Structure 1
Amino acid sequence: MWYNASKFGLMLLVVFCCSCNRNEKKGDSPQVFKGLYSFGPESKSFKNCDDPHEYWVADSSAQLELKYSQMNFEKPYEPVYIEVEGNKIASKDDGMGSEYDSTLVVKKVLKITKEIPQDLCN
């Protein structure tokens, strides 16, 4: 009985390690992005504070757009500072967001504020 239990535990360990390595190879582990986000009827964009690129935004967290809209701006596309966990992927060839090279897929919202830190994002 003990032999079967330890064999089962070893199998679980091997499966767990294999799945971890597979995720690392794909680059699926989210990164933290800090920058300016603006949202409106025809555009969802993110300007990274660390580089000059602008990205289309896909909100898989279902929280970013909600929190932005709860800020009650009088007009769309007002920039806010955000810190999010997510991944960059290539943008689609057609449709909304196709004019951007990359898309930021937001997985988790860490921070969103109307106060834009001048020392981080000029």
Structure 2
Amino acid sequence: MRKLFKQAIAFAMLFGVVLTACNRDNKAEGEKSNTKVVKGLYSFGPEMKSFTLCEDGREYWVADSVKNLELSYSNLNFEKPYEPVYVELEGYFAKSDTATVSDDFDSTLVVTKVIKISKEIPDGPCAQ
């Protein structure tokens, strides 16, 4: 009887581990499937990383998952922080972590790829 009980406990623990692993994979797949290309203005400085969507002017906090966006921005050699640049990015939107993000941003753009970054802001909805 004791051996059967130990086997049942081991099975339950193994089942929990498998269930947790599958749940993580589904979450990652869900994020990948929500990836889209967005165009807008990006500003970067010591206290803020923001993206303003050209099509509707909504503003998002930015999480640079590939660590390429901040580097590309820095390479443009601005004299002052927070100068807006035109960007085309691939990424997905997620709920902001209130512990690290200002209350002004309820959503975060998680960048997975930098397609284009330019000091030249095109005419149209992105022009200020």
Partner Cα separation in structure 2 for residue 103 and residue 82 of structure 1? 16
Distance change >3 Å, CA 25–CA 65, structure 1 → 2: closer
| Letter matched to residue 91 of structure 1 | S
Q: Which residue of 1 aligns with 2:121?
A: 116
User: Runs (4+) of structure 1 moved beyond 6 Å?
Assistant: none
Give 2:52's aligned amino acid. K
Superposition deviation, residue 49 in structure 1: 0.4
Aligned to 1:100: 105
1:28 counterpart residue number: 32
Q: 1:98 & 1:66 partners in 2: Cα distance? A: 26
Identity %: 56
Q: If each structure's helix is expressed as a fraction of its own residues, which one has the higher value? A: 2
1:90–1:102 Cα contact (<8 Å) kept: yes
Alignment root-mean-square deviation, CA: 1.9
Q: 1:94 to 1:85 in 2, by over 3 A?
A: same
TM-score under structure 2 normalisation? 0.72
- Deviates further, 73-82 or 95-104: 95-104
Gaps of 5+ in 2: 1-25
2:47 pairs with 42, 45, 50, which one? 42
Q: Is the 8 A contact 1:92 1:98 kept in 2?
A: no
**Aligned length, in residue pairs:** 101
- How far is the alpha carbon of 1:59 from its aligned partner? 0.2
Unpaired stretches in structure 1, ≥5 consecutive residues: 1-21
Write out per-residue CA displacement over residues 26-79 of structure 1, whole angstroms, 9 at most, x where no aligned residue: 253210010000000000000000112100000001110000000100000000
CA distance in 2, matches of 1:24, 1:31: 15
Aligned to 1:56: 61
Matched residue SS, 2:32: coil
Pairing 1:64-75 to 2, within 5 Å after superposition = 64-75=69-80
Q: Which has the larger radius of gyration?
A: 2
1:86 aligns with 2:98: no
TM-score (norm 1): 0.75
